[in-house]
Amino acid sequence: MKTTHASRRTPSTRPADDKLMLLPEVAEYVRRTENTLRYLRHVGGDDAPPLWRQGRRLVAWKSEIDAWLDDQRANDELAFRRTA
C-alpha cells in the first residue's frame, strides 16, 4: 500500500493564528540577513533557526521563530551571569 502525505500527518497543536513565514520574512522579522540564517542552519547546533525546506523554499512557523528568539535571549542572559 502506498503511503500518502495525508496519512503521515500528525494532529496540529499550533495556534489558529500561527503563520508560515518564508525566509525573506523571517530575515526581516529577526533583523538578520538571509545568508546569515542559511549559514546558521547549515552549521546547526543551538544557534540554528527552525527553518526547513518546503519544496525549494526555506520556511518556518512564526511561533517557532519566537521560541527560538526567546532561547537566544535566555542563552545570552546565562552567558552574562557566568562572566559577572
Specify the higher pLDDT residue, 39 or 16.
39
Q: Write down the architecture of domain 19-83 according to CATH.
A: Orthogonal Bundle (1.10)
64 close to 50: Cβ distance less than 8 angstroms: yes
Min mean pLDDT across 2-6, 53-57, 62-66 is at 2-6
Kindly report the pTM of this predicted structure: 0.75
pLDDT confidence of residue 77: 76
Q: Is the pLDDT of residue 7 over 50?
A: no
**Residue given cell 547549515 in the structure block:** 42
Q: What is the pLDDT of residues 34-63, one digit of tens each?
A: 999 999 999 998 889 999 999 999 999 999
Are 51 and 58 contacting, i.e. CB atoms less than 8 angstroms apart?
yes
